[in-house]
Amino acid sequence: MNQNSPPSPPSPPPETPPPSRVPERRQRVQSAETGMVVLKGLAAIGGSASLTALAAHVGESPAKVHRYLASLMQEGLVDQDITTQRYLLGPELIRLGLAAMRQAEPIRHAEPALIRLRESLEVTCFVAVMGNRGPTIMRFEEPGLPVTVNVRAGSVMSLLWSATGRVFLGLLDEARVRQLATEELAAASDEMRALLPAADPIEVLRREVRAARCATVKDTYLRGISAVAAPVFDFTGRVCAVITALGATGGFDPAVDGKIASAVRREAHATSLRLGYVDPGG
């Protein structure tokens, strides 16, 4: 090395690694989660509450809840009544809710339920809505070994002799439904009438469905076929669809408290919750 050459510059100090942003990011996530807890808590207790009541409901201090409410108010998700000082669901939240309700299409939300019923019970199942001429099948699912039935998507079901129709008849309290049932009864043969309760069959069927919250039939609509049907409710509490499972009578248990009926009711209830239905029974 040449002794006259200039000395080498000192090596730069090692770079200090940037501080981790994970704690900061996690803190933001926790804040968002707490904000959602406050917002859902306000909705759960009726959409209007005092600070004290809301804090007690969500299990947080009033001071902490107040901070989150202030942020939610800035975004229009919460409002406050100047007179009573109570907090209310805000206009932006109402717009969000309306957008969600427009997407709450019962057929789309019922499809996973139909697939689960088909695969777990190996039964034919479908979802129907109330059409102008009666209960109309909209989506139909069959197992690997289907039961031969003469109904498909687009078929209109009987209000009096099918399990699907009886759910609509019992739980959809509309004049046009009762009128269709009355016309159907008037046009029925004596043989078909013999399958119904002798006295006031329409009202008897309505009472039975309201008591059981489902309907079952055995060889009444299609010979050799049994079925179980349960209601799907929308966010207003109105029956908007019916989920039905059916099978050959010899291997299908239509009992109200049986395995199939329990599964159909459970899937119909889960679909209702996805549509915004609030179960009054919790």
Domain endpoint, select from 101, 131, 150: 101
Confidence at residue 16, expressed as pLDDT on a 0 to 100 scale: 54
At a CB cut-off of 8 Å and minimum separation 6, what does 132 contact?
Answer: none
Which CATH number belongs to the domain containing residue 224 in this structure? 3.30.450.40
Confidence at residue 244, expressed as pLDDT on a 0 to 100 scale: 96
Tens of pLDDT, residue by residue over 240-278, are: 999 999 988 888 898 999 999 999 999 999 999 999 898
Look up the domain containing 136 and give its range.
Answer: 104-274
Question: 234 to each of 63, 151, 239, 255, how far by Cα in Å?
Answer: 37, 26, 6, 26
Confidence at residue 229, expressed as pLDDT on a 0 to 100 scale: 97
Tens of pLDDT, residue by residue over 44-66, are: 887 888 999 999 998 999 999 99
What percent of the chain clears pLDDT 90, i.e. is strictly above it? 45
Instruction: Please say if the pLDDT value at position 150 is more than 80.
Output: no
Is residue 30 in a domain?
A: yes
Question: Please, which pLDDT band fits residue 161 given cuts at 50, 70 and 90?
Answer: very high
Domain endpoint, select from 101, 123, 152: 101
Instruction: Please say if the pLDDT value at position 217 is more than 70.
Output: yes
Instruction: Please say if the pLDDT value at position 1 is more than 50.
Output: no
Residue 142 vs residue 260, higher pLDDT: 260
Domain endpoint, select from 83, 101, 119: 101
Instruction: Please say if the pLDDT value at position 176 is more than 70.
Output: yes
- Domain co-membership, 80 together with 174: no
Confidence at residue 140, expressed as pLDDT on a 0 to 100 scale: 87
Instruction: Please say if the pLDDT value at position 22 is more than 60.
Output: no
The alpha-carbon radius of gyration of the chain (Å, integer) is 29
Confidence at residue 240, expressed as pLDDT on a 0 to 100 scale: 93
Residue 155 vs residue 151, higher pLDDT: 155
- Domain co-membership, 84 together with 139: no
- Domain co-membership, 110 together with 64: no
- Domain co-membership, 113 together with 80: no
For the chain, give the mean pLDDT.
85
Instruction: Please say if the pLDDT value at position 27 is more than 70.
Output: no
Give the closest residue to 238 by CA, choosing from 277, 211, 181: 277
Question: 255 to each of 83, 100, 178, 208, 215, how far by Cα in Å?
Answer: 56, 36, 26, 13, 10
Q: What's the whole-number mean pLDDT along residues 152-181?
A: 92
- Domain co-membership, 266 together with 166: yes
Q: Structure pTM?
A: 0.67
Alpha carbons 209 and 231: distance in angstroms, whole number: 10
